[in-house]
Amino acid sequence: MADLDAVVIGAGFAGIYAVHALRSSGLRVRAFEAGGGIGGTWFWNRYPGARCDVESKDYSFSFSPELEQEWSWSERYPAQPEILRYLGHVADRFGLWPDIQLNTRVTRAAWREDAAEWAVTTDDGAVVSARFLISAVGCLSAYQVPSLPGLDQFAGPWYHTARWPAEGVDFTAKRVGLIGTGSTGIQIAPEIAAVAEQLTVFQRTPNFAVPNRNRPWEPEDERAFKSRYRQYRKEARESFLGVPITGTGRPVLDEPPEEVQRTFAERWRAGGGMPFLGAYTDLLTDQAANDVIAEFMRDRIKEIVHDPATAELLCPRTFPVGSKRLCQSDDYYAMYNRPNVRLVDLRSTPLHSVSAGGLSTATAFYELDALVFATGFDAISGALAQIDVRGASGVALAGRWAAGPRAYLGLATPGFPNMFIVTGPGSPSVLSNMALSIEQHVEWIAGCIGYLDAHGYATAEATAAAEDAWMAHVTEVAYSTLFPKADSWYIGANIPGKPRVFTTYVGGVGPYGEKCDQVAAAGYEGFALDGPLAAK
Ligand SMILES: Cc1cc2nc3c(=O)[nH]c(=O)nc-3n(C[C@H](O)[C@H](O)[C@H](O)COP(=O)(O)OP(=O)(O)OC[C@H]3O[C@@H](n4cnc5c(N)ncnc54)[C@H](O)[C@@H]3O)c2cc1C
């Protein structure tokens, strides 16, 4: 008999809930977490300004109405420390700690055909066997430092935002260089600018950012909202992004221009990215429609940033709004009005090298005391690719995914029986409210395992035909939108040599959930089920 029913890799939102859900089904579970604490994203990304850009009422677990009622968020958009406290509270409240082993990295997982179990090896040399392997390694957890010639010569400290020191970093009186202007770069930049002697932002591609309009969650608002939380959660599950959004329901191109300006201005004042992109039906599918919202946003940037040359450099012109993650910040653009902030355009003068005293571009040298990389992640498949996963006949997952990661419903892949992936390639994952998608995935996985046990099956394996059909659908839906037009991390463009494949399902969280339910109701259609009683 296997040592465990399930091994879970990772203890972020996904791993924590997988431990709880599987244990509640009576399974023997252990999660291995490489970090020294739980929380995943919110354990590692402790940089100043780290904040969720989905509202706290949405970015939280819904599985326990009691938890939902007793926890109070302090702000509309929760900051990293508060989310980490929340996840700690969840682990305390549901007694999850005994089944989570910290400071332990899974290095290998191999399917033993004869025993129908996984042998999981950890970096302390231990091997544990389990009937099921659940990957909860995170879509944005394998961080990426660009290979910059001379970085090892740099005399000052350098940091990656995804491995920020827990004790913090004091930039007072320092000249700091920041590389990376995506969601994280945009969050950290104003925080550094507020204390550093000088901040130099090295920008390759400007990004669109909408205001958060972050504010405290007033007790009366909270009470009123919580009285209908159950109904709200249901609406969220049926929604497109995992957050109920009210749009106009009309295409922007059919709307009178003054009405369009009024609608966008209202949403800009209210803050938040999802309501902004969800305002009209055609913004993410029609370039001409997207041009309207892009122009509105560029006008706002030029209004905020005083120096016209800097404002122009900050105006994105090479990709549709929303095709790269839409950033959110209340103070990023205004930061460029500070005398201690300068912007260097790497398109016109590319990065050349680092030396002891600073950073050189093709045309200039910038003296720096510290360097910050906000250069993101090998998204979706990166963390799983770092594990030597071997399926049936010893086939390596890395090899199977050499042309790009793929999975049936984002949950399972042929040749890897009894292995489930939370928010894998082919799921709505990073283009949804991930807390909700994670819950939906974990519940589906727990349901599938329950079905196998109830019906006497030992194994479930996605069929190649089901995976092919699903990924063809994922691709077809993606290419009916503007998403593939951008050189984004969604498509792997930030990782040198990574195949350019768009693997996130943009057909909507609601329709995706329905499809998963149909598959389950049909006895796990698209999976080959096998075991002692399979013949019956
Ligand atoms: C800065 C930042 C901001 C974000 N903001 C939002 C947001 O606003 N809204 C949203 O929906 N999502 C956001 N995300 C995405 C976020 O990653 C998810 O919302 C969610 O936290 C993912 O949870 P997870 O458990 O799937 O993965 P993670 O939180 O990444 O946890 C995975 C864990 O697995 C561990 N692990 C990986 N490999 C191994 C191994 N081999 N052995 C053992 N342990 C391993 C890692 O150490 C990590 O702790 C953000 C991500 C980042 C980085």
- CA 138 – CA 501 distance, rounded (Å): 18
Residue 15 C-alpha to ligand 1 middle, in angstroms?
A: 10
**Is 5 in contact with 118 (CB distance < 8 Å)?**
no
Residue 431 C-alpha to ligand 1 middle, in angstroms?
A: 14
- Whether this prediction's pTM lies above 0.95 is answered by yes
Taking only the tens place, the pLDDT of each residue in 396-431 is 999 999 999 999 999 999 999 999 999 999 999 999
Q: How far is CA 359 from CA 149, 184, 202, in A?
A: 10, 21, 10
H or E element, residue 360:
strand 358-361
Can you tell me whether residue 339 is helix, strand or coil?
A: coil
Taking only the tens place, the pLDDT of each residue in 98-144 is 999 999 999 999 999 999 999 999 999 999 999 999 999 999 999 99
Most informative mutation of 141, 187, 422, 441 for ligand 1 (most atoms within 8 A of CB): 141
* Ligand 1 atom closest to Cα of residue 437: 11
Percent of residues, the chain, with pLDDT higher than 70: 99
Mean pLDDT over the full length of the chain: 96
Which residue's CA is the closest to the ligand 1 atom numbered 35? 10
* Ligand 1 atom closest to Cα of residue 384: 38
Q: CB under 6 Å to ligand 1: residues?
A: 9-15, 32-35, 40-41, 43, 45, 50, 52-54, 59, 105-106, 136-141, 184, 383, 387, 422-423, 433-434, 438
Taking only the tens place, the pLDDT of each residue in 372-393 is 999 999 999 999 999 999 999 9
Residue 217 C-alpha to ligand 1 middle, in angstroms?
A: 25
**Is 151 in contact with 354 (CB distance < 8 Å)?**
yes
**Is 224 in contact with 202 (CB distance < 8 Å)?**
no
Which residue's CA is the closest to the ligand 1 atom numbered 38? 137
Residue 530 C-alpha to ligand 1 middle, in angstroms?
A: 33
Residue whose structure tokens are 């392997």: 133
Q: What pLDDT was estimated at residue 535?
A: 41
- For every residue of 233-298, DSSP letters joined together read HHHHHHSSSSS------S-GGGS-HHHHHHHHHHHHHH--HHHHHTSSTTTTT-HHHHHHHHHHHH
Which residue's CA is the closest to the ligand 1 atom numbered 26? 138
Q: What pLDDT was estimated at residue 429?
A: 95
pLDDT band at 273 (very low <50, low <70, confident <90, very high): very high
Residue 534 has pLDDT above 60, yes or no: no
pLDDT band at 533 (very low <50, low <70, confident <90, very high): low
- Secondary structure letter of residue 326 according to DSSP: P
Tokens of 494: 């930030």
Residue 13 C-alpha to ligand 1 middle, in angstroms?
A: 7
| Mean pLDDT across 426-442 | 97
* Ligand 1 atom closest to Cα of residue 32: 43
Residue 140 C-alpha to ligand 1 middle, in angstroms?
A: 5
The dihedral through the CA atoms of 392, 397, 400, 405 has a sign that is positive
Most informative mutation of 41, 47, 57, 377 for ligand 1 (most atoms within 8 A of CB): 41
